[in-house]
Every structure is written in structure tokens, then in C-alpha cells.
Structure 1
Amino acid sequence: MSNKGVAGFLFRFRLFLGKLFNLDDENQLVNKLIPGSIRHRYAQEEGLIFKGMPAISNGSLDFATVYILENEHLSEIENKTVHAALHFSRVSIGEAAWGVHMAVYVKSKGLLGKIYMLLIKPFRLWIVYPALMKIVKDEWELFIRLSI
């Protein structure tokens, strides 16, 4: 996630709150394969070890890359409020035309997680998700232009 604009500010603010209220474990998902994580289950299915997994994403909120394929990317995050997965795929929408699909799967953790998700819902829907979609779309368009 870019550090620019309103969405970038919201991510930085969330990091600040996470540190202030001790919501995030800095080592979670980043330094090892934690049993129960999507990353751990994928590694087991593919016969991978931690060193064989893709590098961690750009560090924003410690999203951990589960896998990266030519037209698909899955990452996850887990903290004291949620366990969530973020999936992007590039799909054909016509002859020589592509679109980007995004799916976000979230499992709240306890009452705090449910309240947290309710409070951030408008920001996710109106600011964060559109910004994520634009970033991914721009990146894939750049990749296509460079591939030609």
C-alpha cells in the first residue's frame, strides 16, 4: 500500500494505534510460518519451508505474502483484532482486455475485532479499497506495457 494520500495516512494512523494499544505482534507471520495461518497451510500443501516462501510484502501493516503467480497474489495479516486475507487477480474481461478483481476475507477476533471492523468499514469501502485497486491496476498495466 502506498504511503501517499488519504489511504496512506489511514494506514500510518492504524500503525500508530496498533503500537499505542498493543494490537500488533511485530513478529507474527513475518519471521516464521505460524500454524493456522494461510501462509503455513500453503507451505505445507506445496512442500515449502519458510525460506522457500515469497518475501514479505512491502511492510505495510506486516501483510505477509502467501503466494505470487503471474495473474494472482494472496497475502494475509493477523493481529489481535482480525485475521484477514487480501487476494488480487488479473482476469480477462474481453479480447485482449484485462480487469483486476480484489477479494478481502476477514475473520474478526472477539468483541474488539467486531467493533474495530464496524468502525473502519466506511474508510475501507470508500478510501482504502479503491486506492488498493488503483495501485494494483496501475502496476499490472505497467507490467503489460513493459512485457510488450
Structure 2
Amino acid sequence: MRLPVTAHTTRPWRIHEIAYDFRVEDVWELPTPGGPDDLAHLVTQFTTGTGDYVDSPVARTLFAIRWKLGALLGWDKPGTGVGDRQPGLRDRLPADLRDAPRAPDFRKFTSVYQTHDEWAAEMSNETCRGVLHLGWVPDADGNGGYHAQMAVLVKPNGLFGAVYMAGIKAFRYVGVYPALLRMIGRGWEESAGERSASRGA
């Protein structure tokens, strides 16, 4: 379910002090019911996943087109990644986050930091810099359950980046996010046994 931007900005996440010059593009509630200590399981699901990003032919086609255009136009060429065009967000971290364990890098993302209830990863190319942020929040019903919120923060690279982000907005909402949320939910259900076993260990 898509959430208002305030669902992210009103929470005391550490990302606010680090990615202060990024704008919040999207916020989503993820289908990941769990307990108070389960964020680490979701981060593992994100960073160790294999195969396609999403499970629908439409979304896979959109990604394939994007990677093809990126290769042809140099959007993803060497020298455009995190830390190449400008310093990455890890260079902004306070000591407590910089020295703490963090999740591994995955796909095109560099893991920035991880806490008990928060994780952020960064990517960069010729079009923009982006941050994937997961926050672990209590359910609204007050019954002791938790779930994840996913926020996408962006910083377009100039006018071209701003135009690019505006141009792909409809494709994200129609073709990418629905398939991504289904994939996340399915992976979460499949790992229920592992989470249960870890709690009993």
C-alpha cells in the first residue's frame, strides 16, 4: 500500500540527518508482518535475493528496456556509481553508524548503514542518486505486531535527471511497484519457517 510522504518524514529515522538533500519520492507499506526484531531478516532477503527484480513480464520488460538504454546512452557507465561522481552517503555517517556492522552491498546498491529498526542502501548513475530505506514500524492496531515501510529517496543529477524521474513515474506505479511488493511479500512468506526457528534458537 502506498503511504503519504509524512509516514516517512515524521518518524525519527537516522536517514534524515544523512540524506538531508534528497527528496522522498515514494513511501510504501510492505506485506511483511513480523515481530519487533525481524528487520534483519528482511534485509537479508533483499541483499541475498537472486534472479529478477520483479515477477511480472511487464515489469521485467521495463527493467530490460531501462538497462538497454543505460548501456546505449552511458547512464550506468563506470565513473557514475556511488562515490564516483561525488562522495557516497557513508562519508556522511556519524561514528556510531560508520563503525557499526552493516548489510552487504547487493546488485547496484551500496549498503550505507543498518540499525535494529532501520536500513539504507544507495545507488547512483548518470540520471540520479537514489536511496532505498527500510524502516521497521509497529502496526497501527497496537497488538504488538510490526511490519516494514519502504521509502525511496532521490537526488536527480541536473535537469536531465529531473526530467528522467518525471518521465518514468507512471511506469513505476503501474508496472514496477505492484510486482515488487508481490515479490517481497512472497519471499517473506517463504522465509516464515526460518524466522520462527531463529526466534526459538
Q: Same fold (TM over 0.5)?
A: yes
Q: Give the corresponding residue for 1:36.
A: 87
Indicate how the Cα distance of structure 1 residues 72 and 132 shifts in structure 2: closer, same or farther if over 3 A, else same.
farther
Structure ranking higher on relative contact order (CA contacts 8 Å, 6+ apart): 2
Quote the offset at 1:75 in angstroms: 1.4
The answer as to whether partners of 1:73 and 1:88 remain within 8 angstroms in 2 is yes
Q: Percent identity?
A: 30
Structure 2 residue aligned with 1:137: 185
Provide the TM-score with structure 2 as the length reference: 0.57
Structure 2 CA distance for partners of 1:129 and 1:4, relative to 1, 3 Å:
closer
Match of 1:2 among 48, 53, 57: 53
Unpaired stretches in structure 1, ≥5 consecutive residues: none
Cα distance per residue 1:26-62 (max 9 Å; x no partner): 4623xx78863223323865344xxx753221x2xx1
Provide the rounded CA distance (Å) in 2 between the counterparts of 1:129 and 1:102.
11
Q: Structure 1 residues 85, 15: CA separation in 2 closer, same or farther (over 3 Å shift)?
A: same
> How far, CA to CA, are the matches of 2:65 and 2:137 in structure 1?
33
Relative to structure 1, is the Cα distance of residues 132 and 10 closer, same or farther in structure 2, using a 3 angstrom cutoff? same
Where does 1:82-93 land on structure 2 (aligned, <5 Å)? 82-93=128-139
Unaligned 5+ residue runs, structure 2?
1-51, 197-201
| Counterpart for residue 25 of structure 1 | 77
CA RMSD of aligned residues (A): 3.0
Amino acid at match of 1:99: H
The amino acid of 1:18's aligned partner reads G
Match of 1:55 in 2: 104
Q: Identify the range of structure 1 (94-103 vs 116-125) with the bigger mean alpha-carbon deviation.
A: 94-103
Structure with more helix by fraction: 1
Equivalent residues of 2:55, 2:183 under 8 A apart: no
When normalised by structure 1's length, the TM-score is 0.74
Deviation at 1:3, TM superposition (A): 5.1
Q: Which residue of structure 2 lines up, in the alignment, with residue 101 of structure 1?
A: 149
Check 1:104–1:14 CA distance in 2 against 1; reply closer, same or farther (3 A cut).
Answer: same
Equivalence for 2:63: 11
What is the count of residue pairs matched by the alignment? Answer: 141
- Asked if 2 retains the 8 angstrom alpha-carbon contact of 1:78 and 1:84, the reply is yes
Number of the residue aligned with 2:195? 147
